[in-house]
Amino acid sequence: MAEEWGMLYLCPTPIGNLKDISERILDTLREVDIIACEDTRNSLKLFNHYGISKPLTSYHEHNKYDKAKELIFKLKQGNDIAIVTDAGTPGISDPGEVIVKECLDEGIRVTSLPGPCALITALTMSGQKTGRFVFEAFLPPEKKERAEILKELKDETRTMIIYEAPHHLKKTLKDILEALGDRQISLLRELTKKFEEVKRTSLSEAVAFYDNNEPRGEYVLVIEGKDRKILRSEKEEIFKDMSLGEHMEIYLEQGYDKKESMKLVARDRGISKRDVYNALLQTGK
Ligand code: SAM
């Protein structure tokens, strides 16, 4: 890391309310040499409001790899650069992730300033459990990949957070209901704006509601994780008629080693690893 190299600053911007920007972020935007924006026209509205006038350049989904190289060259010349995406925290469901990795690979210093992020705002006001959660960003549009992700989420016990645009909402809700079964969901829209709304309901009711009402605004879906007790009894039911050897095979085939497989089998059956070990010894497996 060369002392004279510049630094990359990830600068979150408001997700709806122009006032949601910290003094530190404004100072940083005023002090850096270049601001790289996902959409310069969009960011200009914010910069004009706060009297920020800096050289701007575009850094978006379609130029992120080439542009990252160009920005790294400028950072190595000693320029400090801020990354600003359309809304919220750069790196969360936007191109920010690429430049961070490339900078760290090159030994360039990176810092991320705290600020607005739709997933955290949504989760904290969703009424769902916040202790353990998983962020799924946007579900992939491609059918096979989408089905795979939804299959993985079926037994997820943590609260799940998903981003969605209004024109895909109906289909996404239906797909989630079909894959996960009915459960609680909070739909959050227009966060930090005048018509901010949180709708706490069930997945089936949400599907029925949007069959008769057009979705409006950007959405964050916060979905209840699966109840651990239900998951355990479902697994016990599945494994009831299976021998320990067959049960072990399931995990070995997935690439787990013997020790890890024993641990997972023990967890599924609610018994100790030692019990699994001893039983397998007796059967000579
Ligand atoms: N980087 C952003 C962040 O930190 O949240 C997310 C960018 S992602 C391209 C845009 C998605 O974030 C939207 O489709 C929506 O799901 C969510 N989002 C952003 N602003 C929102 C708002 N004001 N209300 C509800 N959801 C919002």
Query: pLDDT by residue (tens digit) across 119-156?
Result: 999 999 999 999 999 999 999 999 999 999 999 999 99
Q: Quote the number of domains for the chain.
A: 3
> Which of these, 149, 60, 121, 147, lies nearest to 96 by C-alpha position?
60
38 in contact with ligand 1, CB cutoff 6 A: no
Question: What is the distance between the alpha carbons of residues 256 and 25, in angstroms, rounded to a whole number?
Answer: 45
Q: Residue 13: which CATH number?
A: 3.40.1010.10
From the number of C-beta atoms within 10 Å of its C-beta (0-12, 13-18, 19+), residue 99 rates as buried
Q: Which residues pair with 162 in a beta bridge?
A: 221
**218 with 237, same domain?**
no
**219 with 264, same domain?**
no
81, 9 contact by CB (below 8 A): yes
**27 with 110, same domain?**
yes
**80 with 138, same domain?**
no
Answer with the one of 181, 205, 226 that is the final residue of a domain: 226
**249 with 208, same domain?**
no
**107 with 134, same domain?**
no
* Type of residue found at 165: A
**83 with 138, same domain?**
no
92 in contact with ligand 1, CB cutoff 6 A: yes
- For ligand 1, the distance from its centroid to the CA atom of residue 163, given in whole angstroms, is 7
Q: Give residue 239's domain range.
A: 229-283
- For ligand 1, the distance from its centroid to the CA atom of residue 118, given in whole angstroms, is 5
Answer with the one of 185, 208, 226 that is the final residue of a domain: 226
- For ligand 1, the distance from its centroid to the CA atom of residue 213, given in whole angstroms, is 21
**6 with 110, same domain?**
yes
Tokens encoding 262: 């024993």
Q: What is the pLDDT of residues 213-239, one digit of tens each?
A: 999 999 999 999 999 888 888 888 888
Mean pLDDT for the chain overall: 94
Question: What is the distance between the alpha carbons of residues 259 and 192, in angstroms, rounded to a whole number?
Answer: 49
Better-predicted residue by pLDDT, 228 or 106: 106
- For ligand 1, the distance from its centroid to the CA atom of residue 79, given in whole angstroms, is 29
**143 with 110, same domain?**
no
35 in contact with ligand 1, CB cutoff 6 A: no
204 in contact with ligand 1, CB cutoff 6 A: no
> Which of these, 141, 140, 138, lies nearest to 93 by C-alpha position?
138
Put residue 127 in one of left, alpha, beta given phi > 0 → left and psi -120 to 50 → alpha.
Answer: left
Answer with the one of 89, 115, 141 that is the final residue of a domain: 115
Q: Range with the lowest mean pLDDT among 159-173, 178-192, 266-280?
A: 266-280
Please identify, by atom number, the ligand 1 atom nearest to the C-alpha of residue 90. Answer: 1
187 in contact with ligand 1, CB cutoff 6 A: no
223, 201 contact by CB (below 8 A): no
Three-class SS of residue 10?
A: strand
42 in contact with ligand 1, CB cutoff 6 A: no
**244 with 211, same domain?**
no
**59 with 110, same domain?**
yes
